[in-house]
């Protein structure tokens, strides 16, 4: 592994890597198999191993290369296999399909039509990634064009333009310049707050204390959000490059990546990348012969959502309980171990190489809206056809996101709401669909950007239940330090429990609202200050649903256990008895072949096993 000792060295490496990568994609057959956590769980490892086996058996290792790539974004269609030089993208590839791909495509006999994307309406085939509608409206900056590269391969990363920005900055820019560019770009924090990144950096740079720290927040606690995990697993180097640029700008000497405990693969890939950079001389003392010294350390979390809050995160690194503290003093002035510290989200760092490469600033400013520049990565999940990661320019409407990119609601159901901002956010409904996505618009419509989790809900989701779910999460994750959040959120949850059980009265809604407004106003940290948002948002937009639970004692969406019953249709029941066999409390009686089965409502525990096991779909929730 050759060590780089000057900027020229790096330049030469970059040029070579670009050539090598083009050669790779335009030579013999190169196969990328998605090795992201989601696809691995769907047996993509077996797909790759089978392909390896087939190639080896015929001694074709020199002509056909099989390697892992990172997330392709459209996770619900995984596992993915992409074949070059044609650039054919195969989806839903099972291990048993490996032989087909090998025999037909890899041996040069054309694409396997059954495995490429097909338009469900027109039947049109999209063999190339860029033709697929899912990708059309996206602009992948943080997701690096969804370009296929081996995650642990720095040459591949350089091949797609990686470390170009760092090189340019070290060669031509001062730290002050970096701050100016950040300010000019309009980049706002991608962790959820949307605070102007350049402004934060400038505070830190201004501090006299020479011992400055940079922290990358990979705690990604919002349930349903996995953008940061994917970025770290597929392109760890994009984060490291971003961190180096930021460190250069603010004058940081040490960097930390705080990785939540639930992401061991991300942690591993980042550590491998850091070790590699150290060996190459891109991290450490006097990098590439300049005065810039910087190194990065990984620190792990241990299962606490609140550690995504910057002061709690720092407390965790300091070996304490992750309990936030009051601000001021702000971390940029007094942070980790008392020194000026900048904390930025993974996605924020992932945007920096694009902005800081030659011509990047102007290109970046041309994307997005006036007050929200650039793009945002969303993890689109829930009741949507295309579940996965998408990156869209700010200004894209919610309608485009959900229907054009997301493919609309699965199973032919009706769209009800999209929840953004996780437990800190709110719901956007039919009326909000034409809102251009940006930080301020989403707040104006009663939600917020958040880290990027976007959960789509349909008519079968109960919004009271959704609010209760988020509150339960908050109660679990509240650190317990301040009384409004510690006690207040539990009191709010107790009221929601009553509503869901049909035992609440209308005045409970007044208490709920009073508590919600107080907790927002009086809590010590962002977790508490935003905890009431899902409740307030659903209370405003789905007031009738709350009323139904309280006054009519019904759950319109048929979710809240105490307000629904499972009923077997006596007319259509086929008397097979399967439901009775599966029922865990033996509350279904009937005679096989002779009498229709009936559920004893007093004993029924509403577990739903009967409904999911009935082969004839005669059981309903009423």
Residues 401-440 that bind other proteins (CB under 8 A): 419, 422
- Give the E-state strand segments of 25-74 in sequence order: 29-34, 64-69
Q: What is the rounded CA–CA span in Å between residue 123 and residue 113?
A: 11
Interaction between residue 582 and other proteins (CB under 8 A): yes
By the 8 A CB rule, do 576 and 616 touch?
A: yes
Q: In whole angstroms, how close is the CB of 362 to other proteins at the nearest point?
A: 34
Within 10 A of 12 (CB to CB), how many other CB atoms are there?
12
Q: In whole angstroms, how close is the CB of 419 to other proteins at the nearest point?
A: 7
Q: What is the rounded CA–CA span in Å between residue 375 and residue 390?
A: 10
Q: What is the rounded CA–CA span in Å between residue 148 and residue 267?
A: 20
Interaction between residue 607 and other proteins (CB under 8 A): yes
Spell out, one character per residue from 533 to 572, where the chain touches other proteins: x when CB under 8 A holds, - when not.
Answer: ----------------------------------------
Interaction between residue 231 and other proteins (CB under 8 A): no
Interaction between residue 523 and other proteins (CB under 8 A): yes
By C-beta, is 71 or 355 nearer to other proteins? 71
Interaction between residue 609 and other proteins (CB under 8 A): yes
Interaction between residue 325 and other proteins (CB under 8 A): yes
By C-beta, is 89 or 482 nearer to other proteins? 482
Residues forming beta bridges with residue 89, ordered by sequence position: 82
Interaction between residue 207 and other proteins (CB under 8 A): no
- What is the gyration radius of the CA atoms in the chain, in angstroms? 27
By C-beta, is 364 or 597 nearer to other proteins? 597
Q: In whole angstroms, how close is the CB of 157 to other proteins at the nearest point?
A: 21
Task: Give DSSP secondary structure letters for 453-468.
Answer: EEEEEETTS-HHHHHH
Q: Shortest CA distance to 597 belongs to which of 584, 578, 621, 616?
A: 578
Q: Shortest CA distance to 311 belongs to which of 302, 303, 321?
A: 321
By C-beta, is 85 or 303 nearer to other proteins? 303
Q: In whole angstroms, how close is the CB of 71 to other proteins at the nearest point?
A: 10
Subset of residues 142 to 161 that bind other proteins, contact rule: CB under 8 A? none
- Give the E-state strand segments of 486-618 in sequence order: 566-568, 588-591, 595-599
Interaction between residue 134 and other proteins (CB under 8 A): no
Interaction between residue 515 and other proteins (CB under 8 A): yes
By the 8 A CB rule, do 499 and 538 touch?
A: no
Q: Shortest CA distance to 391 belongs to which of 162, 142, 75, 193?
A: 142
Q: Is beta strand 375-382 parallel, antiparallel or unpaired with respect to 388-393? A: antiparallel
Residues in the chain: 622
φ, ψ of residue 52 to 5 degrees: the values are -55, -45
Cβ-based neighbours of 187, under 8 Å, separated by 6 or more? 196, 197, 198, 348, 351, 355, 364, 373, 374
Choosing from 97, 105, 219, 222, the residue that interacts with other proteins (CB under 8 A) is 222
Subset of residues 95 to 124 that bind other proteins, contact rule: CB under 8 A? none
By C-beta, is 360 or 488 nearer to other proteins? 488
Token pair for 222? 């919002």
> Applying CB under 8 A, which part among 26-34, 145-153, 176-184, 515-523 lies near other proteins?
515-523
Interaction between residue 2 and other proteins (CB under 8 A): no
Interaction between residue 318 and other proteins (CB under 8 A): yes
Subset of residues 253 to 272 that bind other proteins, contact rule: CB under 8 A? 261-263
Subset of residues 435 to 494 that bind other proteins, contact rule: CB under 8 A? 453, 455, 457, 461, 466, 469-470, 473, 475-484, 486-488, 490-491, 494
Q: Total residues at the site for other proteins (CB under 8 A)? A: 90
Choosing from 301, 360, 446, 452, the residue that interacts with other proteins (CB under 8 A) is 301
Cβ-based neighbours of 26, under 8 Å, separated by 6 or more? 84, 85
Q: In whole angstroms, how close is the CB of 165 to other proteins at the nearest point?
A: 27
Subset of residues 57 to 76 that bind other proteins, contact rule: CB under 8 A? 75-76
């Amino acid at each position: 592994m050759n060590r780089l000792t000057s900027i020229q060295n790096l330049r030469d490496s970059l040029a070579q890597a670009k050539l090598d990568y083009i050669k790779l994609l335009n030579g013999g057959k190169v196969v990328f198999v998605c090795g992201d956590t989601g696809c691995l769980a769907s047996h993509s490892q077996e797909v790759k191993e089978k392909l390896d086996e087939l190639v080896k058996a015929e001694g074709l290792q020199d002509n056909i290369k099989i390697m892992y790539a990172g997330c392709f974004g459209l996770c619900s269609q995984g596992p993915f296999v992409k074949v070059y030089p044609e650039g054919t993208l195969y989806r839903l590839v099972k291990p048993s399909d490996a032989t087909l791909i090998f025999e037909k495509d890899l041996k040069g006999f054309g694409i396997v039509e059954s495995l490429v994307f097909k338009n469900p309406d027109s039947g049109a085939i999209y063999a190339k990634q860029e033709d697929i509608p899912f990708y059309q409206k996206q602009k992948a900056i943080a997701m690096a064009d969804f370009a296929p590269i081996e995650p642990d391969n720095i040459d591949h990363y350089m091949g797609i333009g990686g470390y170009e920005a760092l090189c340019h900055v070290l060669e031509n820019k001062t730290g002050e310049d970096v701050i100016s560019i950040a300010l000019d770009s309009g980049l706002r924090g991608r962790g959820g707050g949307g605070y102007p990144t350049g402004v934060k950096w400038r505070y830190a740079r201004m501090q006299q204390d020479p011992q400055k720290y940079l922290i990358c927040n990979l705690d990604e606690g919002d349930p349903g959000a996995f953008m940061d995990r994917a970025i770290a697993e597929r392109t760890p180097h994009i984060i490291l490059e971003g961190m180096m640029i930021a460190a250069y700008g603010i004058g940081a000497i040490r960097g930390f990546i705080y990785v939540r405990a639930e992401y061991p693969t991300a942690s591993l890939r980042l550590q491998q990348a850091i070790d590699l950079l150290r060996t190459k001389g891109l991290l450490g003392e006097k990098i590439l012969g300049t005065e810039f010294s910087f190194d990065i350390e990984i620190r792990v979390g241990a299962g606490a959502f609140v550690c995504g809050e910057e002061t709690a995160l720092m407390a965790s690194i300091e070996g304490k309980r992750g309990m936030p503290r009051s601000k001021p003093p702000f971390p940029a002035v007094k942070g980790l171990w008392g020194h000026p510290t900048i904390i930025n989200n993974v996605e924020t760092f992932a945007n920096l190489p694009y902005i800081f490469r030659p011509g990047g600033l102007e290109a970046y400013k041309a994307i997005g809206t006036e007050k929200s520049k650039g793009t945002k990565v969303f993890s689109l999940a829930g009741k949507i056809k295309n579940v996965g990661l998408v990156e869209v320019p700010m200004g894209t409407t919610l309608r485009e996101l959900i229907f054009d990119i997301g493919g609309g609601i699965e199973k032919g159901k009706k769209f009800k709401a999209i929840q953004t901002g996780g437990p800190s956010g709110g719901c956007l409904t039919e009326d909000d669909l034409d809102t251009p996505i940006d930080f301020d618009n989403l707040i104006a419509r009663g939600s917020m950007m958040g880290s990027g989790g976007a959960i789509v809900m349909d008519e079968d989701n109960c919004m009271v239940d959704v609010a209760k779910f988020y509150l339960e999460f908050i109660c679990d994750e509240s650190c317990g330090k301040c009384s409004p959040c510690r006690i207040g959120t539990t009191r709010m949850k107790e009221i929601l429990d009553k509503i869901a059980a049909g035992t609440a009265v209308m005045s409970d809604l007044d208490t709920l609202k009073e508590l919600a407004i107080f907790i927002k106003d009086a809590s010590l940290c962002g977790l508490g200050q935003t905890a009431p948002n899902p409740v307030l948002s659903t209370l405003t937009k789905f007031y009738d649903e709350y009323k139904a639970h309280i006054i009519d004692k019904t759950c319109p969406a048929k979710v809240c256990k105490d307000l629904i019953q499972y009923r077997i249709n006596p007319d259509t029941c086929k008397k097979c008895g399967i439901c009775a066999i599966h029922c865990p409390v033996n509350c279904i009686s009937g005679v096989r072949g002779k009498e229709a089965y009936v559920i004893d409502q007093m004993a029924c525990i509403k577990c739903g096993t009967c409904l999911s096991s009935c082969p004839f779909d005669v059981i309903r929730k009423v």
